[in-house]
Amino acid sequence: MRMVSVNHLTKIYGHRFNRVAALTDLSFAVDAGEFVGIMGPSGAGKSTLLNILATIDQPTTGTVTVNGTAIGALSDSATAKFRREQLGFIFQDFNLIGDLTVADNITTPLTLVPPVPANLASRLAAVAKLLHLTALLQRYPAELSRGQQQRVAAARALIAEPSLILADEPTGSLDSLAASELLGYLTQINLQEDRTILMVTHDAYTASYCNRIIFIKDGTFFAEVTRNGSRARFHQQIIDMAATLSGGIAHAPRR
Amino acid sequence: MRRAVKQLWRHRRGNTLAVVLGALLIAVLYALGALSENHALADAAATAMQVTAVVPAGLTLVMLLLLAFTVTFQFYLERALWQRRRQEFGVARLLGLSANRLGGRLVLEALVRQAVTLVLGLSLGVVVSKLIAMAMVRLMGLHVTTGLLWSPLTMLELSVTLMVVAALQGLLDALAVRGRDLTPWLRPLPVTALPTRRGGRWRGLLGAGLMIAGWVVMLGWRPLLSRLPQQNRQWGGLGLLVVILSAWLIGTYWVIRDGLPLWLTALQRRHQGRWLISTTMTLTTIASRLRAHAHSLWLTTILASVTMTVLGSASMVYGVATAEMNRAVVAPVVVTAQTKRSVLAALPQAPTRELTTKLVVGRLTGGAASHLGLYQVMAASDYLRLRRGQPSLPALQLTGRQAMVITTRIGQVQRHFGERHRPHVIALARGPQVQVAQVTNQFPLGQDVFFDRGLVVTDAAFAQVVGTTDRLWGLYPAATAATRRAVNRLARGDAQLSFVANTAAVRAGRQLPRLATVAGGRTWSRAAAAYRAPVRAAGQTLFGFGLFLALLAGTVVVVATASILLLKLVIAADGSQAELAVLQQLGLPATSARRITWQTVGGVFALPLVIGVADAVVTLVTLHSQVAEPSGGLAAVVITVYIVVFLGFAWMTGRLIDQLSLVGRAGPED
Ligand SMILES: Nc1ncnc2c1ncn2[C@@H]1O[C@H](COP(=O)(O)OP(=O)(O)OP(=O)(O)O)[C@@H](O)[C@H]1O
Ligand SMILES: [Mg+2]
């Protein structure tokens, strides 16, 4: 079943004399239950793509279908409903609410519209335990390290059990242990609960948790690598492709 | 210079508000200054009031008060704008801009902005000076026309003062960016530090206690004061007032800074996981605003309380004073036989009302009192006839030998005729002995042309009184300019008096009191003619002037305090709108986001308003119980207008923040 299909997507920022094409005629598709990585050099348009998928940004031309719905054509309230019910988004810069405690930040997606679910407390406890946040629940985001903030952002994206998870460098600020744990968890919900995940990353090791990587360069589709074998081999394939992408200079894998 | 202008332009949203509000304040200041130097107005007012220099002095005083207020206001605004640029300053210094240079730029910016504000404000001032002058002339009942007021001296004074203030402000800013440690500058404004739980809770509770105690004491003012020994009453009262005020000031501050934020947070914690995010956000945002702006909210609350109280009491006093005056002033002109001819010659067509009295000496006894006085006795039927044209005179219920005493000395009346004493009796020297059944402080035709006391007796008793006939005439000339001139001329002439010799023979009743035009020995005296129209005009001018000053100052204060609140909230909204945008990205419906904005603004604005109204009502109720014939109508109207203006500002704030959420994210400016 198709979860996401992106057709001839173009996004142009600015106007007239100062135009930046962030995406040009990008097309690809993702099936339900896939764990897809998106890689590319900085400025390639990865965040732009994710923002459009999340209905936070509008494409200049082209269409995006998620779960059978053309998300560009949704009304304001339908868009909000889509974000609430289908989507979990881990933002590149976290976007936590400074005035709210960690607990309130995490439960936000469940308290946006009535009714507030009765099992909210137990769901919070579960996700907090999973991401090692239990001791931090009554703190404020400003009182956390960046890695802790990133885990809060992840918890917030996961608590509502969305069918599509979009993650913009979800491990960028985590140490390798925490990164492995989060990625392990993402893999687990991907496999056991059949959730679709799209993850942007710069890091080949992080990417190796996915089962397919889409490479983007200058806003357009460049290549694709699918995992069929061990993770170590997939890892090497990714490093090779990244080297090709950046014109022969290999990115040293970050471990 | 170019750089300063560029920086001002870059931060134009805050600066525009600062300039516009500053200009409005300066315009009012200029108008007041120019008015105080306007001779035509001062002369007209002096003629009307028969006192010189009241108007210039009053205007100057209020101008100075407003100037002090303007300086405070600008200081607050400047701080708010400066706070917003902290990060910019931090980065500039991190990249190597020296503190001196940065400071120099800040001073220059402050000067340029003040210069712009002054040019705008003074030009506006020239224009509005006419309107303000018109309002003043109207309220004071003067007949002067004024054009645009032009006063280079005022302009110079204001410019110099405010430029110095701006330079000082710039210097303060410059000093504040000198710190060696840059880390606090580079972080975004710290998310409101929450009050320490325990200390804050106690301070909050204590604060609430102090506030409530202040209200209770204020409401029980009279009984409390009467507990104090008589000789300590004045100082005791003053001391009590100082204690109440200080308690109230401290209490309010603690409630705003500690109590409310903590209670809101506690409330929200208790409901964690049960409330919608919109409720949670509203409460936490209000709590964090209270905490972050405790200072200016406190100041706003105090100013709101003071303004509403002053406006309310000013209009109450205005109402009471005008009513009092209208009661004392009945006929525009009252004459006696001595002056009747000359006055009638000047006002030939004036309709008249006549009152015939008999002058007779009488001794009042009752209780411990015994007092000999000169009574002007009138018949009940005459009194009732005059009462038809002067409805505030009390109704009569006299039978047989009963009488009504008329005297202005209400205190004496209450002491002498209190119910604890046995019935008072007046023995008239040549006439019947009457029993005091009623007392009033209102004289038919007005009080000035009575010697001492009036006495109303039944027609039958009046017939038995033997006394010197003394006729009074009330004149009611048509209200034309010619009459006004004639009356003013008469009033300015030598005041004529009539006398009655207070001799042993008169006191003993062996001789009738004799009216004379010259004093000799001990005498009773009175005016031989009373010109009430000029007195009334003077009163109206004076009270009107007071009301004008109170209203003007009140308007300025409400506008300025509400704008500080507006600015602070709009600046803080930069952050909270970003948070609302995140919530919308998570799926919060746009209407809920908007509701959060409006409820937050409403909550923050409601605080000073609610406390202010409570304070004003408590004070006014106390004041109300002190005045003899209270009138709260005007006060209620004025306070309502205040509330409406304040809420108008809340609405504007909500609108501005709402627009911010659309515009703010697109621009690269912030
Ligand atoms: N609001 C904007 N206005 C103008 N240009 C923009 C805007 N947002 C992004 N761009 C441009 O679009 C291009 C793609 O940006 P995007 O953020 O999608 O890159 P990215 O692949 O996520 O990079 P990174 O790996 O550094 O996060 C960049 O050239 C960027 O400069
Ligand atoms: Mg990015």
d(CA B462, CA B441): 21
**Are A97 and B281 within 8 A, CB to CB?**
yes
Neighbours of B160 (CB within 10 A): 10
pLDDT in tens, B129-155: 998 888 888 888 787 777 788 889 999
d(CA B649, CA B554): 15
Please enumerate, as own/partner, the contacts of A245-254 that have beta carbons within 8 Å and a separation of 24 or more: A245/A39, A245/A40, A245/A41, A245/A215, A245/A217, A246/A41, A251/A202, A251/A204, A253/A203, A253/A204, A253/A205, A254/A203, A254/A204, A254/A205
pLDDT in tens, B250-309: 999 999 888 888 888 888 888 877 888 888 889 888 888 888 888 888 988 998 888 888
Closest approach of chain A CAs to the CA of B184, in angstroms? 13
d(CA B103, CA A186): 52
Give the containing element (helix H, strand E) for A30.
Answer: strand A20-31
Rg (C-alpha) for chain A, rounded Å, is 18
Predicted confidence (pLDDT) at residue A9 exceeds the cutoff of 90: yes
Q: Can you count the helices (H) and strands (E) in chain A?
A: 8, 10
d(CA A123, CA B273): 10
- Measure Cα distances from B20 to A183, B15, B24 in Å: 55, 8, 6
Q: Look at residue B195 in the predicted model and tell me its pLDDT.
A: 47
Buried b or exposed e, range B549-576, using 16+ CB within 10 angstroms: bbbbbbbbbbbbbbbbbbbbbbbbbebb
Predicted confidence (pLDDT) at residue B632 exceeds the cutoff of 90: no
Chain A residues closer than 8 Å to B277 by CB = 104, 107-108, 111-112
- Per-residue pLDDT, averaged over B218-242, amounts to 74
- Measure Cα distances from B85 to B80, B99, B106 in Å: 9, 15, 11
Q: Which residue in the block uniquely carries the two structure tokens 């809340």?
A: B650
Average pLDDT over all residues of chain B: 82
- Categorize the per-residue pLDDT at A216 as very low, low, confident or very high, splitting at 50, 70 and 90: very high
Residue B460 has φ and ψ, to the nearest 5°, of -65, -45
Dig out the tokens for B54 from the structure: 């009241």
**Residues in chain A, total:** 255
- A23 bridge partner residues: A11
- Helix boundaries (H) for B427-531: 459-464, 481-492, 504-508
Is residue B248 classed as helix, strand or coil in its secondary structure? helix
d(CA A38, CA A199): 6
Q: Are B211 and B255 in contact (CB under 8 A)?
A: yes
- On whether any CB of chain B is under 8 Å from the CB of A97, the answer is yes
Q: Look at residue B667 in the predicted model and tell me its pLDDT.
A: 33
- Per-residue pLDDT, averaged over A127-143, amounts to 90
The one-letter amino acid at B38: N
Question: Does any ligand 1 atom lie closer than 6 A to the CB of residue A58?
Answer: no
pLDDT in tens, B560-584: 888 888 888 887 787 778 888 888 8
- Categorize the per-residue pLDDT at A174 as very low, low, confident or very high, splitting at 50, 70 and 90: confident
Q: Quick one: what percent of chain B has pLDDT higher than 90?
A: 18
Neighbours of B95 (CB within 10 A): 7
Pick the residue of B282, B586, B591, B600 with the most A CBs within 10 A to test the interface with A by mutation.
Answer: B586
- A88 bridge partner residues: A165
Helix B260-270 and helix B277-292, axial crossing angle in degrees, nearest 10: 160
Closest approach of chain B CAs to the CA of A140, in angstroms? 9
**Are B586 and A112 within 8 A, CB to CB?**
yes
**Are A56 and B587 within 8 A, CB to CB?**
no
User: Between these two residues, B15 and B33, which has the higher pLDDT value?
Assistant: B33
Of B58-67, B161-170, B208-217, B338-347, the range with the highest mean pLDDT is B161-170
Lowest mean pLDDT among B383-387, B415-419, B658-662: B415-419
- Categorize the per-residue pLDDT at B119 as very low, low, confident or very high, splitting at 50, 70 and 90: very high
How many CB pairs below 8 Å do chains A and B form together? 91
Residue owning the nearest CA to atom 24 of ligand 1: A42
The one-letter amino acid at B44: A
d(CA B196, CA B203): 11
Q: Look at residue B670 in the predicted model and tell me its pLDDT.
A: 30
d(CA A91, CA A186): 15
Predicted confidence (pLDDT) at residue B663 exceeds the cutoff of 50: no
Which one is the CATH code of A31-57+75-245: 3.40.718.10, 3.30.750.24, 3.30.420.480, 3.40.50.300?
Answer: 3.40.50.300
Of A198-207, B79-88, B277-286, the range with the highest mean pLDDT is A198-207
Q: So where are chain A's domains? A: 31-57+75-245
pLDDT in tens, A115-133: 889 899 999 999 999 888 9
The one-letter amino acid at B116: V
Q: Look at residue B40 in the predicted model and tell me its pLDDT.
A: 83
**Are B585 and A81 within 8 A, CB to CB?**
no
Q: Look at residue B171 in the predicted model and tell me its pLDDT.
A: 92
Give the side-chain half-sphere CA count within 13 A for B86: 16
Closest approach of chain A CAs to the CA of B249, in angstroms? 28
**Are B277 and A80 within 8 A, CB to CB?**
no
Helix B590-626 and helix A76-86, axial crossing angle in degrees, nearest 10: 110
Specify the pairing of strand B369-379 against strand B453-457: parallel
pLDDT in tens, B440-464: 878 888 877 888 889 999 999 999 9
Report CA torsion sign: B516, B517, B522, B526. positive
Q: Look at residue B486 in the predicted model and tell me its pLDDT.
A: 81
CA angle A78, A81, A83 (to 5 degrees): 110
Predicted confidence (pLDDT) at residue A46 exceeds the cutoff of 80: yes
Predicted confidence (pLDDT) at residue A250 exceeds the cutoff of 60: no
Q: Are A9 and A26 in contact (CB under 8 A)?
A: yes
Question: Does any ligand 1 atom lie closer than 6 A to the CB of residue A45?
Answer: yes
Of A15-19, A148-152, B572-576, the range with the highest mean pLDDT is A148-152
Question: Does any ligand 1 atom lie closer than 6 A to the CB of residue A42?
Answer: yes
User: Between these two residues, B98 and A255, which has the higher pLDDT value?
Assistant: B98
Residue owning the nearest CA to atom 2 of ligand 1: A13
Q: Are B162 and B26 in contact (CB under 8 A)?
A: yes
pLDDT in tens, B301-344: 998 888 888 888 888 888 777 777 766 666 778 888 888 888 88
d(CA B305, CA B307): 6
User: Between these two residues, A184 and B389, which has the higher pLDDT value?
Assistant: A184
d(CA B660, CA B525): 75
d(CA B391, CA B327): 10
- Categorize the per-residue pLDDT at B668 as very low, low, confident or very high, splitting at 50, 70 and 90: very low
Residue B605 has φ and ψ, to the nearest 5°, of -70, -30
- Categorize the per-residue pLDDT at B379 as very low, low, confident or very high, splitting at 50, 70 and 90: very high
Contacts of B243 (CB under 8 A, 6+ apart): none
Predicted confidence (pLDDT) at residue A113 exceeds the cutoff of 70: yes
Chain A residues closer than 8 Å to B190 by CB = 142
Question: Does any ligand 1 atom lie closer than 6 A to the CB of residue A13?
Answer: yes
Helix B86-94 and helix B54-84, axial crossing angle in degrees, nearest 10: 50
Residue A13 has φ and ψ, to the nearest 5°, of -95, 155
The one-letter amino acid at B433: Q
Specify the pairing of strand A20-31 against strand A35-39: unpaired
Q: What is the reported pTM?
A: 0.73
Question: In a 10 Å sphere around its CB, with 0-12 CB exposed, 13-18 middle and 19+ buried, how is residue B502 labelled?
Answer: middle
d(CA B254, CA B247): 11
- Per-residue pLDDT, averaged over A142-161, amounts to 89
Report CA torsion sign: B201, B203, B209, B212. negative
Predicted confidence (pLDDT) at residue B185 exceeds the cutoff of 70: no
Q: Which of A137, A99, A105 is nearest to B284 (CA)?
A: A99
Q: Look at residue A182 in the predicted model and tell me its pLDDT.
A: 87
Chain B residues closer than 8 Å to A141 by CB = 191
Lowest mean pLDDT among B185-189, B469-473, B495-499: B185-189
- CB proximity under 8 Å: A 34-63 to B: 54, 56
Q: Which residues surround ligand 2, an ion (CB under 5 A)?
A: A 47
- Per-residue pLDDT, averaged over B632-659, amounts to 87
Dig out the tokens for A41 from the structure: 């050099």
A22 alpha carbon to ligand 2 midpoint, in Å? 11
d(CA B480, CA B428): 44
Peptide bond between residue B152 and the one before it cis (omega within 30 degrees of 0): no
